[in-house]
Structure 1
Amino acid sequence: MNEILNIAIVQAHLIWENPIQNRINLSRMLESISKPIDLVILPEMFTSGFTMHAESLAETMQGETIKWMQTIAQDRNCALTGSLIIEEDNNYYNRLVFVYPNGKIESYNKRHTFTPAGENKVYKAGVEKVILQYKGWKICPQVCYDLRFPVFARNTEDYDLLYYVANWPKPRIAAWDALLKARAIENMSYCVGVNRIGLDGKGHEYPGHSAVYDVLGEQLTYLEANKEGIEILQLSKEHIAKNRKYLGFLNDKDRFNLIM
Structure 2
Amino acid sequence: MNVAAVQMVSGPDLQANLEQARGLLQQAQRAGAELAVLPEYFGFMGWRETDKLQLAEAWGHGPMQAFLAQQAQTLGLWIVGGTVPLATDDPQRVANASLVYDPQGRCVARYDKIHLFRFHDGQRGYDEAAVLKAGEQPVTFALRDRAGHVWRVGLSVCYDLRFAELYRLLAADVLVVPAAFTYVTGQAHWEVLLRARAIENQAYVIASGQGGEHPNGRQTWGQSMVVDPWGEVLAQQSRGPGVVVAELSRARLQEVRQRLPALQHRRLLLGAPQLS
1:159 alignment counterpart: 172
TM-score w.r.t. structure 2 length?
A: 0.86
Deviations 1:202-252 (A, max 9, x none): 4221131111111110111111x2232112221011111111112100011
Which one of 159, 162, 165 corresponds to residue 148 of structure 1? 162
Which of 217, 241, 245 is 1:228 aligned to? Answer: 241
Q: Deviations over 1:14-52 (max 9, x none)?
A: 11x221110011112223341432111110011112734
CA deviation string 1:161-214 (max 9, x = no partner): 011110001111220111001001111101121111222354221131111111
Correspondence list, 1:1-260, <5 A: 5-15=1-11, 17-33=12-28, 34-49=30-45, 51-60=49-58, 61-81=60-80, 82-90=82-90, 91-105=93-107, 106-116=109-119, 117-135=126-144, 136-154=150-168, 156=169, 158-173=171-186, 174-223=188-237, 225-258=238-271
Gaps (5+ residues) in structure 1? Answer: none
Q: Partners of 2:66 and 2:191 in 1: how far apart?
A: 33
TM-score, normalised with respect to structure 1: 0.91
Instruction: Number of aligned residue pairs: give it.
Output: 253
Return the offset for 1:151. Answer: 1.1
User: For the residues of structure 2 that align with 1:160 and 1:24, how far apart are their CA atoms?
Assistant: 31
More moved, 156-165 vs 145-154 = 156-165
Query: Structure 2 counterpart of 1:232, which letter?
Result: V
The DSSP-based 3-state class of the residue aligned with 2:83 is strand
Percentage of identical aligned residues: 28
Give the aligned partner of residue 122 of structure 2. none
Whichever residue aligns with residue 114 of structure 2, its letter is R
What is the alpha-carbon distance in structure 2 between the residues aligned to residue 200 and residue 230 of structure 1? 19
Distance in 2 between residues matched to 1:209 and 1:157, nearest whole Å: 24
Q: Which runs of 4+ in 1 moved over 3 A?
A: 88-91
Secondary structure at the counterpart of residue 22 of structure 2: helix
* Structure 1 residues 80-135: Cα deviation after superposition (integer angstroms, max 9, x where no partner): 11112111334510000111112221110000011332211211101101111111
Moved more, 134-143 or 57-66: 57-66
CA RMSD of aligned residues (A): 1.9
Paired with 2:103 and 2:176, the residues of 1 have a C-alpha distance of 19
